[in-house]
Amino acid sequence: MTDDLELDDAEMDALLAEWDELDQLGAEYLAERVPDVGAELALEDERWLAQVAASMFPSEAPEEGEIEGIAALMALEHVDWLGLALGAWRRGGGSGLDAQQVQDDMIALEDVEGDLEDPDGHLQVTEAALLHVAPRWHELGVLDDQDQVTERGAWGLPRALFRAWNGSDRAAS
């Protein structure tokens, strides 16, 4: 099997620059909607947020049995993460978090244009991503034992995204 996608250095640089721009736009979108999302916090909170961000955007090669979950995480786009984080933040602690809710929250985002081409496929990918990240989010206290978003989780999800996309999560790790 050959790799049909071969990028030269200039194409890769352009792709990475476009991704960095999307990260920055996502961080700005959060900053416009979540008060003090980028405020300086205690080191312990910054480290916790870096761990939450790392669970969303893993940087290490997946172990056997994790490939499907990691692929689903990687398939989520900025708009999916915005819907997830802002929806959890708006509903607060004690709210549920499932693929349908994330999809509804993503569709309801203000000032975001576009159509969901394959809603059923999107739900499947989102469900696989949530199933992959849930064990780590339980350990971190983002989700409780009933798979409900905790108060800390609702507070932390948009802040973890902001730091990941704004580049400020690297300092706390």
Tens digits of residue pLDDT in 32-89: 999 999 999 999 999 999 999 999 998 887 788 888 999 999 999 999 999 999 999 9
Query: Residues 6 or more apart from 123 whose CB is under 8 A from it?
Result: 99, 100, 103
Give Dmax over CA atoms of the chain in angstroms: 50
* pLDDT (0 to 100) of residue 66: 84
